[in-house]
Amino acid sequence: MAVILDGKLTSQKVREEIKKEVDLIKEGVRRPGLAVIIVGDDPASHVYVRNKKKGCEEVGFVSREYALPENTSEEELISLVKTLNSDEEIDGILVQLPLPRHLDDKKVIEAIDPSKDVDAFSYHNVGRITVGDYDFLPCTPAGVMELLSNYNIDVAGKNAVVIGRSNIVGKPQALLLLQANATVTVAHSRTQNLKEVTRQADILVVAIGKAKFVTADMVKEGAVVIDVGMDRDENGKLCGDVDFESVKEKASYITPVPGGVGPMTITELLKNTLTAYKRHINEK
């Protein structure tokens, strides 16, 4: 039976450290500030945004939410981003994805000042991460690495397999595992003999958005299994991309859903916002 990688507990530890730093900010000096923009009524996105706001309040950050209607134009959205770029109270700007179809997310992300791009989604920040010279790491992959490190799971020299190749998780996750000296394979919907590939994994990270897709027969005995999925099962209950009940019997470590990677993602966002704040304060 696997050890559970507890993202809630690990997050709490990191958030307490962030809060300690915020508590040391002198009277009269501003606190770190995060602006979150959400467009439209997607219920899941609204839940994520609410949790980001709660995370900010917990550590003493200023948080501002901009909830814009579905029919917001690209010009209006970009104009808000530009206003926030020059807002001295704001260190991080996050535009919740996905955006409604009529909006071009690349254009919107590129409008964010790279020093405030706490998602690390802009070309500038993606490029910096690729060469290993960065201020921010993308929140979900960074949260996975922090969770591994918190449980002293050494990545160097291990076979790591990432299933999924999204720009938000799969690709940057592969890069971070590579930077930690793993031997990395990225599998995806066109991968042949997927089971043969995943059974080679000492560390398996799953980010495909398919409920309980990874079953015990796809996992090597003693593997570390990280589930980035947030899905619903046949009864509408929250679950991950991994069939937790069967895989936990075979893995050495496993993340639950909820309570695994999810809380870590928001914690990394708070870390990035604090980093941006320190840069902005020191530049003044």
Question: Interface with ligand GUN includes 176 (CB under 6 A)?
Answer: no
91, 116, 117, 119: the active-site residue:
119
Give the nearer residue to ligand GUN in terms of CB position, either 14 or 168: 168
CA distance 163 to 235: 25
Residue 214: DSSP 8-state: B
Least distance to ligand GUN, CB of residue 163, Å: 17
Give the nearer residue to ligand GUN in terms of CB position, either 139 or 147: 139
Judge whether 243 counts as a catalytic residue.
no
* Buried/exposed 32-70: b ≥16 CB within 10 Å, e otherwise: bbbbbbbbbebeebeebbeebbebbebbebbbbbbeeee
Contact pick of 35, 90, 95, 201 for ligand GUN (by CB under 6 A): 95
Question: Interface with ligand GUN includes 97 (CB under 6 A)?
Answer: yes
CA distance 159 to 196: 13
Considering only 71-79, 88-96, 159-167, 220-228, which stretch makes contact with ligand GUN by CB under 6 A? 88-96
Which residues in 112-239 belong to E strands, given as ranges? Answer: 159-163, 183-187, 203-206, 224-227, 231-232, 238-239
Position closest to ligand GUN via CB: 97
Judge whether 192 counts as a catalytic residue.
no
CA distance 125 to 94: 14
Q: Which residue has tokens 């910096």?
A: 128
Contact pick of 72, 96, 125, 275 for ligand GUN (by CB under 6 A): 96
CA distance 51 to 45: 10
Residue 15: DSSP 8-state: H
Binding mask 110-129 for ligand GUN (x = CB under 6 A): ---------x----------
Least distance to ligand GUN, CB of residue 169, Å: 8
Q: Which residues are catalytic?
A: 52, 96, 119
- Binding-site ranges for ligand GUN (CB under 6 A): 94-97, 119, 139-140, 168
